Structure 1
Amino acid sequence: MVDRGLLYKEWKQHFWIFLVVFAAVMLSEPLTLLNDYFQYQGCLAELKKFPDMECVLYKDYEIGGAMRMFWVGGVALALSQIGFERSRGTLDFTLGLPYRRGIIFNTKYVFGLSILLTAQLLSYLLSYALIILYKVDVIHFHEYFIGSVIFCFMVYSLVMAAGAMTGNPLAQLVVAFSTSILPYLLIGLPLANLRIIRSFFGGHSAFFYGETELLDYITPIMYLNHFGIQYGSLAFTLIPLAMGILFYMIGYFCFIRQQIERNGHFFLWGKMDRPIQILVILFGIGGFGTASGSSLSSYIFGMLIGSAVGFLISYFLIFKKIKQL
């Protein structure tokens, strides 16, 4: 599945990015807790001047926390391991070594994921030690740590899969972000346009809450605000875990099957260029139409603007080769 020689090469080649990401992920939450503690001590010092002040050392992880930034490390690693490596030409050298492509991808994937998981585990231990030491009153800490690990796994798998099918770092980021909102583009956007069109002819244009809630479950980016087990449901934990596994399988398949000669182009497989361009134009038409749907004339005008914007964006992103580093 992985090769020790490739693991060593991966470590030497990406040493600094691994080190920076590891340190950032590991220290982000402990440093946040330390900052909260020092602010609390400062508040206690001010009580002599302002007796009516209230000082509380409290943290609710459902509202927010540095653990939400774990996924940034996953994006940085995946970009470095495939996008920038392909852009510099070093991935071509790696693929020329006497190893199967599947072993190369799995080595990169396992090593990058190990860096992230180890850093998150140490962050958890350090954070929990500070919570006990300073007696911080916390809520949802353990649930949100588990959720952050799973979300980071999903994001890392998604960006790695995007890198396996694209030819430059910008394309890798665009494809990863587009996939993270794809259910809303494919389902939510057409439904919104149908409701607007229906309203022009006397129908009701209100959104159905059930549909919006269903889209939340299958849209990766929505899990940025749904770490851990919320509302007594395991879905917010199990669904992103399943999506992370699916993205890994897609990335593995694309890495071993697609050609590598299109460095600098948006997609490695040239036959994807035209269908994706058509989709981008349709999304532009639907998006601008929905945003301008106050009247039938403005709706049509918005669709025309959206088609032009979609064409220009797709043309310059997909059909213009980016110079290699």
Structure 2
Amino acid sequence: MVDRGLLYQEWKQHFWIILVVFAAVMLSEPLSILNDYFQYQSCLADQKKFPDLECDFYRDYGMSGVMRMFWVGGIALALSQIGFERSRGTLEFTLGLPYKRGLIFNTKYFFGTSILLTAQLLSYFLSYALIVVLKAEVIHFHAYFIGSAIFCFMVYSLVMAAGAMTGNPLAQLIVAFSASILPYLLIGLPVANVQIILQFFGNDASFLLLESNMMNYITPIAYLDSFGVKEGNMLITLIPLVMGILFYIIGSFCFVNQPIERNGHFFLWKQLERPIQILVILFGILGFGMAASSSILSYIFGMIIGSAVGFLISYFLIFKKIKQL
């Protein structure tokens, strides 16, 4: 459920960022197609001088790498709607209005997703029109746009949830990025260290090998590389849709139930600070140990360095207040 008055307020407060994000998301792919077309025309001109030169106007969206500007727009919009609003104090004003917190969050969320999905839909139609008019050969075009829309929805939900948990824009970005690689940190990193330790003592560690493709299914950042689209299986792209819904539920719960003070702390709920610091130190120990695993002595030395780095990073990021705008 959303409120028209809150929708209008969102529009007025974020007009310029909406304009920039909408234009970037809508035009990124059509401009990329036009750029490829001009390169193709240039190649045809050179072909007159070099007959052996091959020129193709061809785009394989399954191998196109990243999901273009769509996900960047989702990050920018979510940062503006919560992180920078909280830092400026405008979120406190909105929360002081006679609306329930759940209604405010849902309105923000509906507004953001509507802007992003509308821009992507227009981008799809413009891109398809250019492909038809310019007669380009494409593969996985429709699957790519569906996967991109779902991925952008997941990224936007993730950054919104991170904003509902944190007290400043930097913390919002760090938490969102950490959550996007969390399966690798919680599963992949400890398993890799166990493998290293077993190998030091001459034991077979092959039974601990994880299928990297299986890890990709539950790691949000893996879908940045068109994962699922280039696999030729669109059912895989439904997984980030489920994760996006889960992030929305987490964000809504945190927005409604956690403190709202504009105090510059990393986490709004201070009880999270110590457990997260311990995790950061552990990740530092395991990560530096794995990076310096040429011998058991260098492995131990790397773990010591990692513990110090993890402590310093966690201390200055989590326990130091950030000056508000």
How many angstroms does 1:234 deviate by?
A: 4.2
Q: Which residue of the partner structure matches residue 132 of structure 1? A: 132
CA deviations on 1:229-280 (whole Å, 9 max, x unpaired) are 4445344211111000000000000000000125311000011111100000
Secondary structure of the structure 2 residue equivalent to 1:62: helix
Task: Name 1:312's counterpart in structure 2.
Answer: 312
State the partner residue of 1:80: 80
Shift of 1:48: 1.9
For the residues of structure 2 that align with 1:309 and 1:280, how far apart are their CA atoms? 9
Amino acid of the residue matched to residue 190 of structure 2? P
Alpha-carbon distance in 1 for matches of 2:143, 2:262: 43
User: Residues 209-240 of structure 1: CA distance to partner in whole angstroms, max 9, x if unpaired?
Assistant: 54422211101001111345444534421111
Q: Which residue is 2:98 aligned to?
A: 98
Q: Which amino acid aligns with 2:260?
A: I
Unaligned runs of 5+ in 2: none
Q: Is the counterpart of residue 171 in structure 1 residue 171 in structure 2?
A: yes
Q: In the alignment, is residue 273 of structure 1 matched against residue 248 of structure 2?
A: no
1:136 maps to amino acid: A
**Percent of paired sites with the same residue:** 77
Given that residues 68 and 224 in structure 1 are in contact (C-alpha distance below 8 angstroms), is that contact kept between their aligned partners in structure 2? no
Alignment partners' CA distance in 2, 1:262 and 1:283: 29
Contact preservation (8 Å) 1:143, 1:227: no
CA distance in 2, matches of 1:51, 1:26: 37
Runs of 4 or more consecutive aligned structure 1 residues displaced over 6 Å after TM superposition:
none
Gaps of 5+ in 1: none
Alignment-mate amino acid for residue 112 of structure 2:
G
How many angstroms does 1:322 deviate by?
Answer: 0.4
| 1:60 and 1:140 in contact (8 A); partners too | yes
CA contact (8 A) 2:14 2:80 kept: yes
Give the corresponding residue for 1:184.
184
Higher mean C-alpha deviation, range 306-315 or range 201-210:
201-210
Q: Deviations over 1:68-95 (max 9, x none)?
A: 3210000000000000000001000000
Matched-pair contact (CA < 8 Å) for 1:29–1:65: no
**How many angstroms apart in 2 are the aligned matches of 1:84 and 1:229?**
34
Letter matched to residue 219 of structure 2: T
User: Structure 1 residues 267 and 212 mapped into 2: Cα distance closer, same or farther (>3 Å)?
Assistant: same
- SS at 2:55 equivalent: coil
Distance 1:232 1:223 in 2: 13
Q: CA RMSD in A?
A: 1.4
CA distance in 2, matches of 1:203, 1:84: 52
2:248 maps to 1:248: yes
**1:43 Cα deviation from its structure 2 partner:** 1.3
Counterparts of 1:190 and 1:224, CA distance in 2: 24
- How do residues 1-325 of structure 1 correspond to structure 2 at under 5 angstroms? 1-64=1-64, 67-206=67-206, 210-325=210-325
| Shift in Å, 1:175 | 0.1
Equivalent pairs, count: 325
Decide whether the 8 Å contact of 2:63 with 2:226 is kept in 1. no
For 2:112 and 2:207, the matched residues in 1 are separated by 41
TM-score (normalised: structure 1): 0.97
Structure 1, 192-201 or 208-217: larger mean CA deviation: 208-217
Letter of the structure 2 residue corresponding to residue 99 of structure 1: Y
**Equivalents in 2 of 1:64, 1:229: separation in Å?**
10
Question: In structure 1, what is the Cα distance between the partners aligned to 2:206 and 2:300?
Answer: 20
Q: Please give the secondary structure, in 2, of the residue aligned with 1:68.
A: coil
Tell me how far apart the structure 2 counterparts of residues 279 and 101 of structure 1 sit (CA, whole Å). Answer: 30
| Contact in 1 for aligned 2:143/2:234 (Cα 8 Å) | no
Deviations 1:98-117 (A, max 9, x none): 00000000000000100000
